[in-house]
């Protein structure tokens, strides 16, 4: 049983003059601030900082940390997000002093190790994606989308082609249309079939010489590999457009299929998903992009380059769209991705994809006896179940099930996405879970759908906070204390 002490803020716990550290008396003459600084910069009111002992601060933060679910504490089948286990060796790699303590303004000659790591990572990502040019700068997947669309815009500007539209399937991640709008294009929706695949008739109707880019996710957000990928690419290329591949689902095809080989011109990676790396809660990610050779000259500066044994930052790229991120990007996440790729090697990466697909299909085979899975019999690394029938017959929603799972110690799947499936529950088991865990999850789901609807409407019953008012939280957030 938690006491109210835990829920108080550090400011509320504060007691005058309580300290976490004691400093020896100052042994040099002390001069008043007014003598050292202009009076406008000096305040007579001390800052309102909380005054606490060290154990109080430690308990406060450690207790808060146990109120959340995480990949390290719970099974986390959050579809699309690929919440797989992050090997601790990657953390150790990122924390090596030679990476951690660099200053981004150090001369190239003193950061050769970092530059070599980044250079090699550019090469690995190009090889895995089948696209020869790479930029590590974007700070997240969404930022990679935006950067690539700016690259596409620069490419068409250079060719003096005025193209205004970006086509996006209706089941795409919300970042796709947002990136299109932010980069100055208008987003046009392309219909998909019930199984999540692109409606080729609708695409053929909407593709014309105004279309700059077709953005697609493959495997798509229903966890199905697009069999028409080549035909789609041909259709778009015939009209002079480019194919953008949202690479969030790369963990399903690593070492097996390369987007560049099936016609993609640009793609992003989410290293924090595909190559392991802490994410969620707004933590740092990265969004490297790879593009074809003809688009390479428009990539952001600097690109990490090599001349003989020397690695350097190449700014001499006159067609570049410029910078999209300070310094070299989120290098901590990139070191983790590098460590992950090097640890597995080509065969290991292929096995990652095979296990992701095997785990998802094993779980699908069990879940479809509990909740319908509209797109059928096989999936890639994730699948979308629906609680629509349960909602009709017993008034139990996807949200009720998601909330109840928390009581059983499982993080919920992604719910209500993609929007094309009613009462959607998007389940991605990931490759790092055991058979026992997948069995336990399926068993728990089977128990929940039989439970009293009233119990489910008020779940979770065991978490520190039950059901916040999500509409109010989104519309009227209280962000200041």
Ligand X SMILES: *Cc1c(COP(=O)(O)O)cnc(C)c1O
Residues that bind ligand X (CB under 6 A): 80, 140-142, 173, 175, 217, 221, 246, 248, 270, 285, 287
Instruction: Tell me which residue has its CB nearest to ligand X.
Output: 141
Q: How far is the CB of 28 from ligand X (least distance, A)?
A: 50
Closer to ligand X by Cβ: residue 223 or 260: 223
Q: Which is nearer to ligand X, 99 or 244 (CB)?
A: 244
Classify residue 16 by burial, with Cβ atoms within 10 Å: 0-12, 13-18, 19+: exposed
- What beta strand segments (E) does 202-308 contain? 211-217, 242-247, 266-269, 289-291, 303-307
Minimum CB distance to ligand X, residue 102 (Å):
24
Rounded to 5 degrees, φ, ψ at 428 are: -125, 100
CA dist., res. 355 & res. 361, Å (int): 10
Question: Measured from the CB of residue 117, what is the shortest distance to ligand X in angstroms?
Answer: 21
Q: Which residue's CB is nearer to ligand X, number 167 or number 456?
A: 167
**Minimal distance, residue 158 CB to ligand X, in Å:** 27
Nearest alpha-carbon partner for 53 in 23, 86, 10, 93 = 10
* Of 78 and 236, CB closest to ligand X: 78
Q: Is the bond into 460 cis (omega within 30 degrees of 0)?
A: yes
Cβ 279 to ligand X shortest distance, Å: 7
Q: Is 390 helix (H, G, I), strand (E, B) or coil?
A: helix
CA distance 401 to 421: 16
| Cα torsion angle, 71, 77, 78, 81, sign | positive
Element (H, E) at 88: helix 88-94
Integer Cα distance of 188 and 165 in angstroms = 7
State the nearest-atom distance from the C-beta of 282 to ligand X, in Å.
10
The alpha carbon of residue 52 and the mean position of all alpha carbons in its chain are separated, in whole angstroms, by 36
Q: At CA 283, angle to CA 249 and CA 324, rounded to 5?
A: 75
Q: Which is nearer to ligand X, 77 or 287 (CB)?
A: 287
Using CA atoms in the order 131, 151, 196, 234, what is the torsion angle rounded to 10 degrees?
Answer: -60
Please tell me whether residue 360 adopts helix, strand or coil conformation: helix
Q: What distance in Å separates the CA atoms of residue 115 and residue 306, rounded to the nearest whole number? A: 9
Tell me if residue 135 falls in helix, strand or coil: strand
> 111 or 140, CB closer to ligand X?
140
User: How distant, in Å, are the alpha carbons of 139, 157, 295, 297, 319 from that of 151?
Assistant: 16, 10, 7, 9, 10
Smallest distance from ligand X to CB 143, Å: 7
Cβ proximity to ligand X, 143 vs 404, nearer residue: 143
Q: Which two tokens stand for residue 272?
A: 């924090």
Which residue's CB is nearer to ligand X, number 119 or number 269? 269
Closer CB to ligand X, residue 247 or residue 460? Answer: 247
Nearer to ligand X, 220 or 444 (CB): 220
Selection from 324, 262, 326, 260 nearest residue 294 by Cα: 260
User: What is the number of residues in the chain?
Assistant: 481
Angle among Cα 462, 67, 280 to the nearest 5 degrees reads: 120
Nearer to ligand X, 241 or 285 (CB): 285
Cβ(401)–Cβ(456) under 8 Å? yes
């Amino acid at each position: 049983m938690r006491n109210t002490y835990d829920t108080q803020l550090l400011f509320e716990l504060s007691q005058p003059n309580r300290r976490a550290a004691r400093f020896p008396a100052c042994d040099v003459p002390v001069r008043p601030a007014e003598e050292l600084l202009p009076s406008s910069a000096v305040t007579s009111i001390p800052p309102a900082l909380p005054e606490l002992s060290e154990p109080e601060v430690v308990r406060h933060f450690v207790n808060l940390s146990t109120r959340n679910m995480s990949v390290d504490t719970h099974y986390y089948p959050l579809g699309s997000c690929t919440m797989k286990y992050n090997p601790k060796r990657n953390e150790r790699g990122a924390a090596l002093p030679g990476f951690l303590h660099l200053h981004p303004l150090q001369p190239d000659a003193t950061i050769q190790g970092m530059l070599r790591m980044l250079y090699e990572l550019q090469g690995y990502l190009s090889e895995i994606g089948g696209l020869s040019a790479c930029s590590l700068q974007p700070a997240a997947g969404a930022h990679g989308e935006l950067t690539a669309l700016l690259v596409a815009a620069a490419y068409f500007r250079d060719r003096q082609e005025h193209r205004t539209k970006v086509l996006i399937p209706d089941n795409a991640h919300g970042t796709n249309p947002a990136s299109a709008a932010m980069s100055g294009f208008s987003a046009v929706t392309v219909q998909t079939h019930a199984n999540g695949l692109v409606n080729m008739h609708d695409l053929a109707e909407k593709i014309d010489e105004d279309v700059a880019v077709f953005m697609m996710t493959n495997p798509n957000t229903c966890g199905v590999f697009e069999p028409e990928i080549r035909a789609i690419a041909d259709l778009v290329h015939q009209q002079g457009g480019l194919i953008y591949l949202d690479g969030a689902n790369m963990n399903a095809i690593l070492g097996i299929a390369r987007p560049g080989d099936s016609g993609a011109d640009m793609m992003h990676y989410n290293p924090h998903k595909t190559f392991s790396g802490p994410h969620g809660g707004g933590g740092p990610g990265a969004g490297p992009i790879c593009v074809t050779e003809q688009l390479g000259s428009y990539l952001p500066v600097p690109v990490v380059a090599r001349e003989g044994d020397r690695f350097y930052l190449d700014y001499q790229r006159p067609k570049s769209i410029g910078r999209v991120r300070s310094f070299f990007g989120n290098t901590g996440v990139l070191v983790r991705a590098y460590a992950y790729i090097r640890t597995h090697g080509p065969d290991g990466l292929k096995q990652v994809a095979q296990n992701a697909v095997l785990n998802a299909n094993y779980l699908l085979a069990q879940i479809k006896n509990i909740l319908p899975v509209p797109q059928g019999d096989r999936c890639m690394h994730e699948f979308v179940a629906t609680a629509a029938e349960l909602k009709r017959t017993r008034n139990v929603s996807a949200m009720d099930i998601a909330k109840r799972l928390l009581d059983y110690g499982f993080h919920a799947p992604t719910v209500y996405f993609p929007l094309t499936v009613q009462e959607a529950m998007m389940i991605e088991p990931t490759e790092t879970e055991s058979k026992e865990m997948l069995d336990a999850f399926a068993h728990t789901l089977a128990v929940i759908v039989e439970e009293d609807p009233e119990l489910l409407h008020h779940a979770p019953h065991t978490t520190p906070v039950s059901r916040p008012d999500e509409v109010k939280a989104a519309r009227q957030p209280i962000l200041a204390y």
